[in-house]
Amino acid sequence: MSSYAEDAAPVAAAFFDLDKTIIARSSTLAFGPSFYRYGLIGRMDVIRTGVAQLVFRLHGADHSRMEKIRAQVSQVCRGWQAERVAEIVARHVADLILPQVYAEAWELLTTHRGAGRDVVIVSTSGEEMVGPIGELLGAAAVIATQMRVSDGRYTGEFDFYAYGEAKAARIKALAAERGYSLPHSYAYSDSITDLPMLEVVGHPRVVNPDRALRRIAECRGWPVLAFTRPSRTEPAGRSDPVRSFPVGGSSTGEIAGSAARERDAARGQPDVHG
């Protein structure tokens, strides 16, 4: 028989950015070679995709880079058949995405689900890609960019651009719809552009943060996590700990202590570190 406290426990969720938070690369750019193979883009587009992927891995994506990627995606995909894109993504999503999932992210996804929280992926990438990725990773829902489709083809315009304040607004709307308590919920991201998303939950965490987000985390005492080990497949019963590096220190004892706190927090234990 459950106690009154257990029955009254608020429903919470864990909101995860996708690129450089769950996976080590850009989910949009990851499909470039596949789109080339099926004739959707040309050789020069593939080269540009490779360069953009390298820049993203090294420097992340600030506002100017995100706007550049948005403009490029809009131009390149105009006229594509939406159904054809869905077929290509479905065929290659596991091979392209699973090897890029951080092992530490697998641990957290599993831990949050085990604690009864819905996992929600919140990404600026297109819903055509994020939806199948969400299914692959066991997400309860996804929030993603929605490209406009007319007569079965992309127009190059956006019905919804999941970026910045728009991510936060959609999280609030989903929370109202599903009854999530945002003060009891978690959010994870690497980018300063996701600051609004991090600020709407009670337990923000930054993962492999860019400089601007790291500075804010230091000022506000938010936990800083370092995900470094892309997985090859979903780990079955993985037990190795999430490696979490505390702000302002990196000794072995500090790292171990921070990792234990993050696991306890994700499992629903008291979190006295914000």
* pLDDT confidence of residue 73: 67
Strand partners, 150: 153
Would you say residue 272 lies in a domain? no
113 Rama sector, left if φ>0, alpha if ψ -120 to 50, beta otherwise:
alpha
Q: 75 by DSSP, 3-state: which? A: helix
Longest C-alpha distance within the chain, in Å? 63
Q: 15 by DSSP, 3-state: which? A: strand
Would you say residue 205 lies in a domain? yes
* pLDDT confidence of residue 9: 72
Would you say residue 117 lies in a domain? yes
What CA–CA distance (Å, rounded) separates 184 from 182?
Answer: 5
Token pair recorded at residue 230: 């892309």
Domain range spanning residue 92?
4-266
What CA–CA distance (Å, rounded) separates 174 from 167?
Answer: 11
Q: Which residue numbers are catalytic?
A: 17, 19
What CA–CA distance (Å, rounded) separates 182 from 186?
Answer: 8
What CA–CA distance (Å, rounded) separates 253 from 203?
Answer: 23
Would you say residue 250 lies in a domain? yes
* pLDDT confidence of residue 207: 96
Would you say residue 104 lies in a domain? yes
Would you say residue 273 lies in a domain? no
Identify the CATH number of the domain in which residue 158 sits: 3.40.50.1000
Token pair recorded at residue 76: 């390149």
Judge contact between 207 and 20, C-beta under 8 A: yes
* pLDDT confidence of residue 4: 45
Q: What does pLDDT average to in each consecutive run of 10 residues of the chain (274 residues)? A: 55 95 84 76 52 46 60 74 91 91 94 96 93 96 94 91 95 98 97 96 96 96 91 46 33 36 58 38
Token pair recorded at residue 102: 């951080």
For the full predicted model, state whether its pTM sits above 0.85: no
Total structural domains in the chain?
A: 1
Would you say residue 271 lies in a domain? no
* pLDDT confidence of residue 10: 84
Q: 55 by DSSP, 3-state: which? A: helix
Would you say residue 274 lies in a domain? no
* pLDDT confidence of residue 263: 58
What CA–CA distance (Å, rounded) separates 123 from 117?
Answer: 19
